[in-house]
A and B are shown apart, each in its own frame.
Chain A
Amino acid sequence: MKISKQEKAATRSKILVAASEVIAERGFKAASMREIARRAEVGDATIYNYFPSKEKLLYGYCENRQHEVAQALRELDGFDQYTIQEQLHQLIETELTLWLPDREFLGEVFDTTFYSPAASLVNLAETRRLFNLMVDEIINNAVEAGEIPEQPYQSLLAPLYWDYTTAVLAYWLRDDSEGFANTTRLVDQSVELITIVLQTGVIGKTMELVSFLFRTHISRTLNSFGDYTRPWKKAKRQFMASHDG
C-alpha cells in the first residue's frame, strides 16, 4: 500500500501530539513508545518508521514547534511593519503562546536536555537552526532597512538570541506569578535592552576588544610557553639520542 506525502505528514504530526501528551503526563523516562503509538492510533511498528527512538520524538516535537512559530509570524497582520524590537519581542511571545499548552512537555525537554549530565545539545541542533533562521531574517531586514547599523560578527547574534530565549523559557517554567506576568515583564524589558545593544553595535565592539586582547596577550603567553617547553625538548632530545646510541 502506497502512502501519500500528505498522509505521512499527518501521521507524523499525530504521533508528535500523542508524544507530547504522554510525556507531559508520565515524564520522559516513564513514557513508552508503545503507549505513544496507541495514543496516536498507529501500529507499534509504524511509530519506529517515523521516529526510531524516544529522543527523536522529543526533539522532533521541538523542531515542529519552530515551523509553527515561523508560520504564525508570517500570518501576523502587519508583522513586517513592526520595529526590530517589536519583532524580536513578538518572536518570544509567539514561542511562549504556542508552548503554553505543552508547558509540562517543555519542562521534560529542559530536564532531559539541559539538566541531566547525559544530555546532548546536539539533539537540539535542528531546532536551533530553525530558530536562528528566524532571528537572522529579522536582523537582516532591520539592517537592510537601516533601522540598526551593520552588525560585525552578525553570525553570533542569532545564537546569542537563542541562548537568551532558552533562558526566558527556563524562567517561564519556574514562573508562578498569575498569568506568568513576571515573564511578560522580563521579556518586555530585556528585549528593550537587547535592541539598544543592537542599535549601538555593542556586541561587535566587544568582539573587537576580545580579539584585540586575544591577539596581543594570548599570543604573548603562548610565546612564553615556548620558553618553558625548551628544557623539556632538550631532555627529550637527549633521551632520544641516548636510545639511538
Chain B
Amino acid sequence: MAKSVPTGKLARSRLASGAVLKAGGKHLSHIARRPFMSSESCMEEKTLLDQQTAEILFNALSQLRGTALKLAQMLSMDSHYLPEPMRKQLAWSCHQVTPLGRPLIRKLFLQEFNRAPEKIFTEFDTQAFAAASLGQVHRAKSREGEELAVKLQYPGIDITIDSDLQIMRMLVKRTAHADLLLSSLDEISQRLNEEVDYHQEADNTEWFSSALQLAPIRIPEVRRDYSSKRIITTTRLVGEHMDQWLSCNPSQAERNHFAQILYDLFVNSFYGLNALHADPNPGNYLFAEDGTLGLIDFGCVRHFSADFVALMPQLLNAYLEQDASAVLHYYKKLGMVVEGLDAGQQQDFYEALLKPFGDWLTKPFKAGRFNFAKRDSAYMKEGVEIFAKLSQIKKIDTIANEFIYFDRTLFGLYQIFERMEAEVNMEHQWLI
C-alpha cells in the first residue's frame, strides 16, 4: 500500500531530520565501538553501518519522491564518493515514477494554455508513453497531422526542489565526503532549477540542433506554439529505445556503429560547441533502422569554459605520459587543489592514487578499438574500485564543477557502451 506523502516543508524536513538523527546515532555508536575493534572487523562493521545508513536514508527519500528521486538519480550516477550500499539503494529508487492522472493533466493544460488538451491537439493520449526527468511524455497529433511528443512537468515539482535540496544537504553531512558532495549538490541544484524551466530546454534543443554538425544525429523540432514553462512539445522522432533495440539482438556491426555515434557526439560537442548533452540516460537515445540516432531531452545541457575545454586534453595527455607533476599542475589549473604536499609527497600521492586512475582512464584512448563487452573487460567494474580508492583522498579541497558533468557524461556513456557490448574507436581523439 502506498504511503501518503508529506507535502509541507515542515513535515518533509521532520521526516528527513528523523533519518539524520537515526543515521547520526548509528554513526556515533560506531565511533564509540571502534577503539576496541581490530582493523579488519572495523572494516566489516563500517560496511554494515553504511548499509544501515543507506536504508534509513532512502526510506526517507522514497517518502519524499519528486526532486528527491531526481537527486537520487543524479547522485547515483556521478557520486563515486558514496559508499557502495548507498549507491545501490539510489539506483533502485531511480526506477520509480509518479504517473499523472487525467485531472492533473487537464489542470496543467488549463494553467499553461487556458485550454484542455483535446482542444489543442486532434489526438492526445492521456497514457504517458515515457517517463522523463521530473515529468512524463505523451503522444499527440497536431491539427496539421504531425506526430508530436508532449512532455508534461509534474505540478509543484519546481517549488519543492529547494526544500528537498536542503534536506539532502543535511543527510549528506553524515557521509565521508561531505564537502565534496555538498559542492556537487550546489551544482546539481542549479542544474535542476534550469531543468524545470522548459523554455530553457526549448532554447537548448534549438541551439544544439543548429550548432551540431553530425550527420547521423537527429534532433526533434520544438513546437513553440504548444510549449510553455511546464509543457514542451516537439516533433516525435522514430526509433527504438535502447532496451527494445537490444532485445532484437542487433549485429556487432550495428552495436559498434551506434556506440561510435554516441562517442563522436560527446567529443564533437565538447570540442566544437564547448557544451555537452549531460544526461546520458539510455532513454534519451532513439535507435532508428536507417542507422541514425535520435537525441532527445535537452533539459540538462552543460556549457564549459574555454579554459576547461583547452586544459582537459592536456590533463589526459599528462596521464598518458605518466607525468606526475604535469598531472598535478593541470588539476590545479582546473580548480582541484591538493594542498600541503612537498615534492616527494606529491610523487607518492601520484603513485598511490592518481596513477592507477590514470592508467584506467587512458586505457580506451590507447587501444585502437576498445571493447566494452563485459565478458572481455569489465572495464567499469574496475573503474568503480578505483573510484572507491580515490574517494579515500582526504586532501582534495575543491572539485571543479565542470568535472562533475564531464565525468558523469563520459562514464555514463561507458556504462551504455557496456550494455551495448560495443567496440568503440576512441584512439587519440583527445590528444593534441
Q: Does A114 contact B (CB under 8 A)?
A: no
Assess the B7–A86 pair: CB atoms within 8 A. no
**A193/B155 contact (C-beta < 8 A), A89-B103, A184-B107 known:** no
Chain B residues near A179 (CB-CB < 8 A): 111, 155-156
Residues on the A chain within 8 Å of B4, using CB: 189-190, 193
CB neighbours of A177 from chain B (8 A): 156, 159
B101 touches A86 (CB 8 A): yes
Of A177, A185, A186, A189, chain B has the most CB atoms within 10 Å of the CB of A185
Q: Across the interface, which residues of B come within 8 angstroms of A189, CB to CB?
A: 4-5, 7
Number of interface residues of A (CB under 8 A): 24
Q: Mark A33-47, 1 if CB is under 8 A from B, else 0.
A: 000000000000000
User: Are B107 and A182 in contact, CB atoms less than 8 angstroms apart?
Assistant: no
| Chain B residues with CB below 8 A from A186, complex form | 7
A211–B76 Cα distance when bound, in Å, is 50
Are B5 and A89 within 8 A (Cβ)?
A: no
In the complex, chain B residues whose CB is within 8 Å of the CB of A140:
none
Whether a CB of chain B sits under 8 angstroms from the CB of A181 is: yes
| Across-interface contacts of B102 in A (CB, < 8 A) | 82, 86, 90
List residues of A (154-191) whose CB comes within 8 Å of B's CBs: 177-179, 181-182, 184-186, 188-190
Report which residue of A83, A181, A190 has the largest number of chain B beta carbons within 10 angstroms of its beta carbon: A181
B45 at the interface (CB under 8 A from A): no
Cβ B2 vs Cβ A93 within 8 A: no
A77 at the interface (CB under 8 A from B): yes
CB neighbours of A200 from chain B (8 A): 1
Contact A182 B101 (CB under 8 A): no
Q: Which residue of A lies closest to B230 (CB)?
A: A179
Whether B146 is near chain A, meaning CB under 8 Å from some CB there, is no
A127 contacts chain B at the CB level, 8 A cutoff: no
**Closest chain A residue, CB of each to CB of B108:** A184
A185 touches B118 (CB 8 A): no
Partner of A178 from B2, B103, B116, B159 at Cβ < 8 Å: B159
The chain B residues found within 8 Å of chain A, CB to CB, are 1-5, 7-8, 101-104, 106-107, 110-111, 116, 118, 155-156, 158-160
> What are 6 inter-chain pairs, A to B, with CB distance below 8 A?
A82-B102, A93-B107, A188-B101, A188-B155, A193-B2, A193-B3
